Structure 1
Amino acid sequence: MLSKRLKTLRTKSNKTQSDFAKIIGVARTTYAMYEQGQREPDFATLQKIADYYEVSVDYLLGREEKKNPSWGDQAEFEALMNNPQEDQFYKEFKESPEERRKALLAAWEYLKSLDNK
């Protein structure tokens, strides 16, 4: 199950094995073995993969079918992603450096606080 989900997630994100191996800090051959089911990632690597794709480790391992239970309604999430501007924002946000993501989240928190005033 893990190997199939890894390949599906990677291809949907338009990444090559080399691209994704660099993202999670392993050799391309090592990552290829994960997708072929010949080797399994250690827990830290599994967490990196889950974090990158924003899915649970249980989803990767086939223990649950929802990619991320905290997303709530999958149809609502998919509708959000069908908006080209929001989809682009999400993709760029996900691939932005951590400092930029933190700054944007801080700005969002500030904007939300204005509603409470």
Structure 2
Amino acid sequence: MLDIRLKHLRKINNHTQQDIADLIGITRPAYTAYEQGVRNPDYTTLIKIADYYKVTTDFLLGRADENEDELVLATCYGRKVDILMHNLNNSKYLTLEKIPLSTKERETLLVSLEFGIELVKRMRKIHEPVEDTND
């Protein structure tokens, strides 16, 4: 699980393996071995990685959220909005600026996101090209 999450976090943050290796103070081959599942980082390195990405070590190790495996894989395929909606509906441990969200705050974000999705759908309909039927 660690290897999948490291690769996922690196890619969604648009970093190279060398970027992350430099940030946490290791060699690129060492970091590559983490993403390939060949080696595991020591405790200090794991904490540096978690701190950099602003996630918990439990998340990196696959111990957070019951459906997190599916969410990580789904994000790799571009379903970030679906994942956010799922998390807002189901997770008890979401934070904003490192402060846990209350039930009311989660509901507010969910309603806002649903409104935003509908707005984007309407904008897309307005800007869709009209097919020329005169061919």
Could you say which structure has the higher helix fraction? 1
Runs of 4+ in 1 over 4 A off after TM superposition: none
- SS of the equivalent of 1:29 reads helix
% identity of equivalent residues:
48
Unpaired segments ≥5 residues, structure 1: 83-117
- SS of the equivalent of 1:32 reads helix
Q: Quote the Cα distance in structure 1 between the aligned partners of 2:48 and 2:21.
A: 11
Report the AA paired with residue 38 of structure 2.
Q
Q: Quote the Cα distance in structure 1 between the aligned partners of 2:10 and 2:39.
A: 17
Q: What TM-score results when the alignment is normalised by the length of structure 2?
A: 0.52
What per-residue deviation string (whole Å, max 9, x for no partner) do you get for residues 51-108 of structure 1? 0000000000000137xx351457849x6xx9xxxxxxxxxxxxxxxxxxxxxxxxxx
Match of 1:50 in 2: 50
Match of 1:16 in 2: 16
- SS of the equivalent of 1:64 reads coil
Residue 50 of structure 1: CA displacement?
0.3
Residue 12 of structure 1: CA displacement?
0.5
Q: Quote the Cα distance in structure 1 between the aligned partners of 2:2 and 2:44.
A: 15
Alignment of 1:1-117 (within 5 A): 1-65=1-65, 69=93, 71=95, 72-73=100-101, 76=109
Larger Rg: 2
Q: Quote the Cα distance in structure 2 between the aligned partners of 1:70 and 1:42.
A: 27
Report the AA paired with residue 52 of structure 2.
Y
Unpaired segments ≥5 residues, structure 2: 69-92, 117-135
